[in-house]
Structure 1
Amino acid sequence: MLEYRQGNFGRGEAVWLQGGQALQNQALRNQVRQHVATQPAIHFAPANGFPVASYRFFLKHFADEYPLLGLENRGAWGKQPPAPDFNWRGHADDLIAFLDQHGHGPVIGIGHSIGATVTTLAAARRPDLFRALILCDPATLPGRYLYRAHRLVAPHFTRHLSLVKRTRKRPTHWPSRQAFIDYHRNKPVFLPFSDEAFADYAEAALIEQDDGQLAMRYHPDWEAQNFSQTHSPWQALKRIQCPTLLLRAEHSFLHPEAVFRYHSQRLPDVVDCMTVAGRGHMLLQEDGDGVAEHCKHWLDSLTPVPI
């Protein structure tokens, strides 16, 4: 369903995935632009620390109808350490350059957590590259007003958070995928994961080494850097021009109901807001089938816009 690709589109040696039914046979690969005219590609941006392929359980619901694309976060590009000042706007620049270089736009941008916020930043800057957005519990600074001072908060304050310090100490090598699963299974963030989501994560997160050990594809230093540079989507969302579905997880620690209502009431009419009942921040891993159903129903409701 998804195949790895590697290359340099002006932002360094990058890694991305592509696939979907429309890209599976070589004859159709040569007709991608013609296909996009009636059915745009989906670009998916994952949560921090999660490679794109760890969402196969979710993306499979779109593979028969849409070409699929997914630029990896720089944390999964290779061994190059993060520059101290590299932030989420830099990730948005990566996405813009990727879509520009490969001629995939305008796409349907789907993102989860940091992936949702980075997609929003990119779409606000380059609305011509996006047909629609689906933003799943986008990562943000807490509260109603703190996002306005994000340049002061991140990374000067956030880099001292226990989450950032713990992330830097994550093990980077594992004797087996089962050992990886056993280590993570009882940690709070992973408890609600479906078995399929956990299996996809273990498969995508680890790369076999010459000595038989398994190494993390997404380096903890990048994961910690991303946490320390947390951005918010709210200002960018006010400038969004394309149809957008903003999904809040009912039990998300990032989006308390009153705070989410405050922000959502200040967004343009093109943004539809919805709460996914009974789920937390990792709503896709908790109920990939249900979230995909919400997304597809909303996409089906959109009036086709010719290119």
Structure 2
Amino acid sequence: MSSTELPSAPAASALPKVATVRVAEGERLRSVGLPGITLSVRSRPPAREGLSPALHVHGLGGSSQNWSALMAQLEGDVDSEAVDLPGFGDSPPPDDGDYSITAHARAVIRYLDASDRGPVHLLGNSLGGAVTTRVAAVRPDLVRTLTLVSPALPEIRVQRTAVPTALLAVPGVTALFTRFTQGWTAEQRVRGVMNLCYGDPGRATPEGFRNAVEEMERRLQLPYFWDAMTRSARGLVNAYTLGGQHALWRQAERVLAPTLLIYGGRDQLVGHRMSQRAARTFRDSRLVSLPEAGHVAMMEYPDLVAREFRDLLAQTGEPVAESVAGTGADAARGAAAGDGGAVTENAGS
């Protein structure tokens, strides 16, 4: 494995505009070369030595930046890294053009094997939730705990608001969409994404919105942006149709790691009704509902997600930061509904 650290603040003249990637204060970004893929890995140095490693995996159209707020919350609890899946964020496309769930899971496994960081606390959102479920099922030796935020697991009745995203998998639809939206500005696109993914788009700060627009402008210039989106959406839809031992729900049954399930009550992409099935399927699970959250609770309510994650750590015997020890799920469940109001609904058997 070869690794090259990327500068956090390159001179404007040193890199082409399309290559500029935002790195938050306290974060590092490096490029890791592996067989068939090159991955961009975002990390945040832990507050102290000896903390357990954690790896965060983003969803469709996202990047490692989606985890920056949560990583900052958890710097006293785990040694966090977040990966850009092939074709997303600052990771180039895979050499073989394979964007299936299995290929994305293979990329995560290759990185964990090469970095020798496992077993890790593995966290996934949306598409990343499906990917990390597969990783936990096929390589239990690499996973200490599994945290899934609105995981994209198969639904029989897809929400109407999720249909446009699923249609990206249909041949020709992406080309039609790109022509239809040719005149849209980056600001319009970001507002559309936030309206779809946030329970309350107003929770995005002005700075966060500007950063998202800047990232959208950068990614729209990438020649493979729409191809990565389309093929990954197709890979997710194809995974929904798999049967037997490769079926995602069947693999969820095989997960041995203690699992934290977080679902948003205002999620327009993953039906909240699927939370109960998830709680029944993952054998050692705890289900938490955030009534006011949308599809990306770790971005909307990073403090509540962090508290629930610390509670998971405590339940598995992992140390948590002294400044927050004991807050855990009880504090989250005691929060006002207007602040996300975490509610533990159910536990897997």
Q: TM-score, normalised by structure 2?
A: 0.66
Structure 1 residues 235 and 162, CA gap change in structure 2 (3 angstroms):
farther
Match of 1:152 in 2: none
Q: 1:286 aligns with which of 300, 312, 322?
A: 300
Q: 2:85 aligns with which of 73, 77, 80?
A: 73
- Are 1:222 and 2:222 counterparts? no
SS of equivalent to 2:87: helix
SS of equivalent to 2:128: helix
- Are 1:130 and 2:143 counterparts? yes
Aligned-partner Cα distance in 1 for 2:105–2:125: 14
CA contact (8 A) 1:54 1:205 kept: no
- Are 1:198 and 2:209 counterparts? yes
Aligned-partner Cα distance in 1 for 2:313–2:224: 31
Aligned-partner Cα distance in 1 for 2:177–2:63: 16
CA contact (8 A) 2:37 2:95 kept: no
Aligned-partner Cα distance in 1 for 2:167–2:305: 33
Residue type matched to 1:65 in 2? D
Deviations 1:215-268 (A, max 9, x none): 459822211211121135422210111111011222334544544324432331
Structure 1 residues 89 and 120, CA gap change in structure 2 (3 angstroms):
same
Query: How do 1:116-155 and structure 2 match up within 5 A?
Result: 116-143=129-156
Residue type matched to 1:227 in 2? A
Shift of 1:163: 7.5
CA contact (8 A) 2:127 2:152 kept: yes
Residue type matched to 2:226 in 1? P
Residue type matched to 1:11 in 2? G
Structure 1 residues 225 and 41, CA gap change in structure 2 (3 angstroms):
same
Deviations 1:58-107 (A, max 9, x none): 22101233211122111235554785653011000000010000111111
CA contact (8 A) 2:125 2:151 kept: yes
Q: Which has the higher contact order (CA 8 A, sep 6+)?
A: 1
Aligned-partner Cα distance in 2 for 1:78–1:169: 26
Deviations 1:101-131 (A, max 9, x none): 0111111011111111111111111111111
- Are 1:44 and 2:59 counterparts? no
- More off after superposition, 199-208 vs 161-170: 161-170
- More off after superposition, 6-15 vs 196-205: 196-205
Give the superposed CA RMSD: 3.6
CA contact (8 A) 1:205 1:217 kept: no
- Are 1:160 and 2:170 counterparts? yes
Structure 2: runs of 5+ lacking an equivalent: 1-25, 159-165, 241-247, 320-349
- Are 1:300 and 2:309 counterparts? no
- More off after superposition, 6-15 vs 105-114: 6-15
Aligned residues: 272
Shift of 1:167: 6.4
Query: How do 1:1-307 and structure 2 match up within 5 A?
Result: 1-22=26-47, 35=50, 39-76=51-88, 77-80=90-93, 86-143=99-156, 159-160=169-170, 180-186=186-192, 188-189=195-196, 192-193=200-201, 194-196=203-205, 197-202=208-213, 204-205=215-216, 207=218, 215=221, 219-230=225-236, 231=239, 233-268=248-283, 270-304=284-318
Residue type matched to 1:285 in 2? M
Residue type matched to 1:41 in 2? P
Aligned-partner Cα distance in 2 for 1:16–1:172: 31
CA contact (8 A) 1:54 1:204 kept: no
CA contact (8 A) 1:45 1:70 kept: yes
Structure 1: runs of 5+ lacking an equivalent: 29-34, 147-155, 209-213
Deviations 1:112-167 (A, max 9, x none): 111111111111111111110110000133228x9xxxxxxxxx987228985676
